[in-house]
């Protein structure tokens, strides 16, 4: 089984190019089948999640052409099936975006019902509420969500919770509905805005994305487009925290600094220097980190997808910090692993109380999910000695060339798949 082998202790220094946003890419790929003309998408991250969604699109007759590693052309004119099998949903939850896309285009979709996941139960009641409000009948049978409508009609939809997934799914279903749809209490995440911009470039009429009221006036059809995906806020944030935990100096390039404001603010609070320019942010950590409190919130609040990374940094700060997770119910699974590296963290409900320690020590640990896995890599890079991390398939879901990008910054990390390869790594690194 493949693992990351890490020798920690070196400050990470240099520049890193951030790729396209995985979560925007997933929404945009699903939406790309909504026209019968060919769309070209650039800055597509080459990560497991996007590749699985491309396979799901091919499986129903979508024509996918990889122009180069980060550019893909999609043509949805030959789609012959509106059923997305459970295998895709098991591998990647966001395959359920095809529900909104297929319902919007063909007025019918059957997609396997996503289960819970490693960060907690993940209800889809708001998605269903939105589809029903547009006039679809929605039932769950044999593990599938089956949505269909004679015609979709615009409506006023109030989301009971701020949800990225339901905002995206309902937006897609409403794009070709008759009349006006208003989504209130909509999610404001950068990838919600990116999807709206993408759909508008295909001829949709969506206003207000990025605020909590989105207005969608239905159009009869969508057309071809060429579109470039926004940079990945969470990949960028992860490298910014890599500078913090390794006492490094990293410039993350090809980013939109505005999307990183809540992350930059916390880095400043804990004693890092943060310099912003047009499309780059530099983080310098030259002194011991100080403690702080943080609560995850919908955008523009501090992202839940950065919660494990900031906890790893606070674990090395002077003093006691409190991290409150307000989005997902079970997002502290990594704490046991971090404790094995010497962290002092107590979890009570949705709160982690962190007493800073002077250092982490390398250990054999397991990635519990995507973002926690990346955070544990940061812990390994900061730790004294060797760390191995199992279940790196989670991390590969969302980080392209993670070891290579880290090594370019002076890290010592390698993928090993046997004990012999691990020993070789240890001998070589010394
Ligand atoms: C998306 C992101 C994920 C991120 C999360 C929060 C993608 C592919 N994934 O996930 O990386 O961590 O946003 O920023 O973009 N909820 C309901 N009912 C629903 C839907 C959601 O109660 O019908 C709740 C969830 O349980 C959760 C909260 O709403 O407590 C937010 O979830 P949501 O924003 O929908 O997350 P995802 O779209 O699944």
Dihedral sign computed on CA atoms, order 203, 80, 40, 256: positive
Q: Which of 142, 204, 194 is nearest to 173 (CA)?
A: 204
| Residue 76 in contact with ligand 1 by CB distance below 6 A | no
**Given this model, what pLDDT does residue 22 score?**
97
Q: What is the pLDDT of residue 1?
A: 85
143 lines ligand 1 (CB under 6 A): no
pLDDT recorded at residue 87: 83
User: What's residue 121's pLDDT?
Assistant: 74
Å from CA of 123 to ligand 1 middle: 9
* Ligand 1 atom closest to the CA of 329, numbered from 1: 30
Distances (CA, A) of 323 to 54, 295, 301, 359: 36, 6, 13, 19
Of ligand 1's listed atoms, the one at least distance from the Cα of 189 is: 14
Q: What is the pTM of this model?
A: 0.97
166 lines ligand 1 (CB under 6 A): yes
CA distances (Å), 54 to each of 34, 63, 85, 134, in order? 14, 9, 14, 27
Output the pLDDT for position 117: 65
pLDDT in the model for residue 113:
82
pLDDT given at position 92: 84
Q: Cβ(304) to ligand 1 under 6 A?
A: yes
Which of the residues 63, 117, 297, 415 is marked catalytic? Answer: 117
Question: Over the chain (430 residues), what is each successive 10-residue block's mean pLDDT?
Answer: 96 98 98 98 96 94 97 97 83 90 96 74 92 96 92 98 97 98 98 98 98 98 98 98 98 98 98 97 97 98 98 98 94 96 97 98 96 98 98 96 98 96 92
The pLDDT assigned to 116 comes to 55
What is the predicted pLDDT for the residue at 430?
Answer: 78
Q: Residue 117 catalytic?
A: yes
Are the CB atoms for 180 and 202 separated by under 8 Å? no
């Amino acid at each position: 089984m493949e693992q990351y082998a890490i020798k920690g202790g070196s400050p990470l220094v240099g520049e890193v190019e951030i790729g396209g946003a995985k979560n925007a890419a997933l929404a945009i790929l699903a939406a790309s089948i909504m026209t019968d003309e060919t769309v070209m998408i650039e800055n597509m991250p080459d990560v497991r999640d996007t590749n699985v969604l491309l396979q799901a699109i091919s499986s129903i007759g979508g024509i996918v052409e990889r122009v180069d590693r980060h550019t893909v052309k999609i043509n949805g004119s030959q789609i012959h099936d509106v059923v997305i099998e459970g295998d895709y949903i098991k591998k990647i939850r966001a395959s359920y975006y095809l529900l909104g896309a297929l319902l919007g285009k063909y007025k019918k979709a059957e997609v396997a019902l996503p289960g819970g996941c490693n960060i907690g139960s993940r209800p889809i009641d708001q998605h269903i509420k939105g589809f029903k409000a547009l006039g679809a009948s929605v039932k769950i049978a044999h593990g599938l969500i089956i949505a269909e409508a004679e015609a979709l009609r615009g409506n006023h939809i109030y989301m009971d919770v701020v949800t990225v997934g339901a905002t995206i799914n309902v937006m897609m279903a409403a794009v070709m509905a008759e009349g006006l749809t208003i989504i209130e209490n909509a999610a404001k995440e950068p990838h919600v805005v990116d999807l709206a911009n993408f759909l508008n470039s295909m001829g949709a009429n969506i206003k207000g994305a990025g605020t909590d009221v989105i207005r969608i006036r239905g159009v009869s059809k969508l057309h071809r487009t060429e579109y470039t995906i926004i940079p990945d806020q969470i990949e960028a944030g992860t490298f910014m925290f890599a500078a913090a935990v390794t006492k490094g100096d990293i410039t993350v390039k090809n980013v939109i600094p505005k999307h990183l404001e809540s992350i930059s603010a916390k880095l400043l609070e804990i004693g890092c220097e943060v310099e912003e320019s047009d499309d780059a942010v530099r983080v310098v950590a030259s002194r011991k980190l100080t403690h702080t409190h943080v609560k995850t919130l919908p955008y523009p609040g501090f992202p839940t997808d950065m919660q494990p990374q900031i906890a790893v940094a606070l674990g090395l700060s002077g003093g006691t910090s409190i991290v409150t997770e307000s989005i997902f119910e079970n997002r502290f699974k990594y704490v046991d692993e971090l404790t094995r590296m010497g962290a002092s963290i107590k979890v009570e409900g949705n709160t982690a109380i962190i007493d800073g320690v002077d250092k982490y020590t390398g250990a054999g640990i397991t990635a519990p999910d995507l973002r926690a896995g990346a955070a544990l890599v940061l812990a390994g890079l900061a730790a004294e000695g060797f760390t191995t991390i199992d279940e790196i398939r989670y991390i590969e879901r969302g980080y392209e060339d993670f070891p290579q990008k880290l090594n370019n910054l002076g890290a010592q990390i390698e993928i090993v798949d046997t004990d012999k390869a691990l020993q070789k790594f240890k001998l070589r690194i010394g």
